[in-house]
């Protein structure tokens, strides 16, 4: 079968690999669509394991079913989670599923940028979800990133009517915009430095779109009754963006670190000011099975529509172009590789 082998952001090759063989409790899934995530092009994060087959936002059809898999059959349309928690450790039992060691060590093989994936028994047990008929394969590739966004906003305690500032209007920032709308946020403000993304944020209903090179706190105060934002969501990894976030959050507010910095970068934190103002800073990583269920329901019901985020539909053979588009981050939002032939 064909796979997309990642060496670095500028070296992405189509290679051949044997189709995976499944065992008891496992399934083989034919990948019909796979989204390129921003984390796929975080070279500092990926290159240490290269060469490898990436891809964790997939949707497809079950091609084979192993022994002792009663819940699924050949032909079922499914979304498959790359990482799944154990659901029994102290972290899972306290609701911190993404801190679970099992979640950080489970995956399907070889990766979503391939014609077929072998889904291990643990993932079959708690990471395979039947697609409702309302969802296309392309739309289903958003289940994983939307589940991550949902988890972040719920953990951050977003309340109806609150002012939300989203720093970065790539695909994760725009998903945060759509999710905040669905969860009842009041005023939603977004930023970016790319004109294309700023225009897209405005089209999707942002109340104010600010060029990130401007004075962000001043612009927020001007449109928000002289208050800063209740929730600031960081969707870009630059240290300058993190500093903007610290300057833009209101008293009693929350800064959600949805994007990471590169390794070794420390954030200068005004601890005394934040202590006095009751400001909370928190990260959010990944999602749990429950988050995926919520994401599917929001997509199925049409409360969040994601097809308008897709800017490029490419074949596996065009994967190198897709990686270049995403890594450059210019005139594109979501790039999807299709394998429908």
Residue 268 sits in a domain whose CATH number is 3.40.50.720
Q: Which of 249, 265, 283 is where one domain is finished?
A: 283
Shared-domain flag, residues 118 and 8: yes
Structure token pair of residue 328: 């450059």
Q: Of the given ranges (46-50, 112-116, 124-128, 150-154), which has the lowest mean pLDDT?
A: 46-50
The answer, yes or no, to whether residue 45 has pLDDT greater than 60, is yes
Same domain flag for 162 and 253: yes
Find, among 228, 238, 287, the residue nearest to 259 by Cα: 238
pLDDT at position 59 over 60:
yes
Q: Which helix (H) or strand (E) holds 30?
A: strand 27-35
Q: Is residue 239 part of a domain?
A: yes
Question: Average model confidence (pLDDT) for the chain?
Answer: 96
Residues 187 and 68 in one domain: no
In a domain? residue 324: yes
Claim to verify: residue 77 and residue 127 sit in the same structural domain: yes
Q: Which of 254, 283, 312 is the last residue of a domain?
A: 283
152 within a domain of the structure (yes/no): no
User: Are residues 329 and 237 both part of a single domain?
Assistant: no
pLDDT single digits (tens) 169-192: 999 999 999 999 999 999 999 999
Q: What DSSP state is assigned to residue 58?
A: E
pLDDT of 341: 47
Token pair of 307 as six digits: 């097809």
Give 224-262 as a DSSP string: TTT--EEEEEE-S--HHHHHHHHHHEEEEEEEEE-S---
If asked whether residues 306 and 260 sit together in one domain, one would say no
Could you tell me the pLDDT band of residue 339, with boundaries at 50, 70 and 90? Answer: confident
Is residue 86 in a domain? yes
**Cβ atoms of 55 and 113 closer than 8 Å:** yes
We report the CATH number of the domain holding residue 28 as 3.90.180.10
- Residue-by-residue DSSP string for 10-21: TEEEEEE-PPPP
Angle between helices 171-182 and 195-203 (to 10 degrees): 20
How far apart, in whole angstroms, are the C-alpha atoms of residue 78 and residue 209?
36
Element (H, E) at 217: helix 216-223
Residues 133 and 270 placed together within one structural domain of the fold:
no
| Residues 181 and 244 both lie in one domain | yes
pLDDT at position 330, please? Answer: 87
Matching residue, tokens 């289940």: 143
Q: To the nearest whole percent, how much of the chain has pLDDT over 90?
A: 96
Q: Examine residue 302 and state whether it is found in any structural domain, yes or no.
A: yes
3-state helix vs strand vs coil in the chain, percent to 5? 35, 25, 40
SS3 80: strand
DSSP assignment of 255-304 equals EEE-S---TTPPPP--HHHHHHHT-EEEE-----HHHHHHHHHHHHHTSS
Lowest-confidence region among 17-21, 208-212, 269-273, 301-305? 269-273
The answer to whether residue 40 sits within a structural domain is yes
Average pLDDT over residues 143-157: 98
Q: Are residues 210 and 166 in the same domain?
A: yes
116/68 Cα distance (integer angstroms): 20
Domain assignment of residue 163, given as a range: 157-283
The residue among 258, 283, 308 that closes a domain is 283
pLDDT tens sequence across 289-299: 999 999 999 99
Share of the chain above pLDDT 70, in %: 99
Asked if residue 274 and residue 315 are part of one domain, the reply reads no
Q: Tell me which residue of 110, 70, 104, 109 sits closest to 86, measured CA to CA.
A: 104
Q: How many structural domains does the chain have?
A: 2
Residue whose token pair is 């083989």: 28
Instruction: Give a yes or no: residue 218 inside a domain.
Output: yes
Same domain, 125 and 140: yes
Give me the sheet containing 52-53, strands edge to edge.
11-16, 2-8, 52-53
Domain identity same for 332 and 212: no
Q: For the chain, first and last CA: distance in Å? A: 13
Would 132 be classed as within a structural domain? yes
CB within 8 A of 214, min separation 6: which ones?
Answer: none
The predicted model gives 17-38 an average pLDDT of 98
């Amino acid at each position: 079968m064909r796979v997309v082998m990642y060496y670095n952001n500028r070296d992405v090759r189509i290679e051949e690999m044997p189709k995976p063989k499944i065992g008891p409790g496992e399934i083989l899934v034919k990948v019909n669509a796979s989204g390129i995530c921003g984390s796929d092009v975080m070279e500092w994060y990926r290159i240490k394991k290269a060469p490898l087959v990436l891809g964790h936002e997939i949707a497809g059809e079950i091609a084979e079913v192993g022994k002792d898999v009663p819940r699924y059959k050949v032909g079922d349309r499914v979304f498959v989670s790359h990482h799944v928690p154990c659901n029994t450790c102290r972290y899972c039992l306290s609701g911190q599923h993404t801190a679970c060691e099992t979640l950080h060590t489970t995956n399907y093989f070889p990766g979503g940028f391939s014609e077929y994936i072998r889904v291990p028994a643990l993932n079959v047990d708690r990471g395979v979800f039947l697609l409702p008929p309302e969802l296309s394969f392309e739309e289903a590739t958003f289940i994983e990133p939307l589940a991550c966004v949902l988890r972040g906003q719920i953990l951050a305690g977003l309340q109806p009517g609150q002012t939300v500032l989203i720093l970065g209007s790539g695909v994760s920032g725009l998903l945060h915009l759509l999710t905040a709308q669905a969860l009842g946020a009041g005023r939603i403000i977004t930023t970016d430095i790319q004109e294309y993304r700023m225009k897209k944020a405005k089209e999707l209903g942002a109340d104010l779109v600010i060029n990130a090179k401007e004075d962000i706190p001043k612009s927020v105060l001007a449109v928000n009754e002289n208050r800063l934002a209740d929730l600031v969501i960081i969707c870009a990894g630059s240290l300058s963006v993190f500093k903007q976030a610290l300057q833009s959050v209101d008293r009693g507010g929350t800064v959600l670190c949805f994007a990471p910095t590169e390794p070794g970068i420390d954030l200068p934190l005004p601890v005394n000011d934040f202590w006095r103002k009751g400001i909370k800073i928190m990260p959010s990583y990944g999602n749990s099975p429950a988050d995926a269920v919520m994401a599917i329901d929001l997509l199925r019901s049409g409360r969040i529509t994601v097809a308008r985020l897709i800017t490029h539909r490419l074949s596996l053979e065009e994967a190198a172009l897709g990686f270049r588009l995403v890594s450059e981050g210019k005139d594109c939002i979501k790039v999807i590789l299709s394998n429908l032939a």
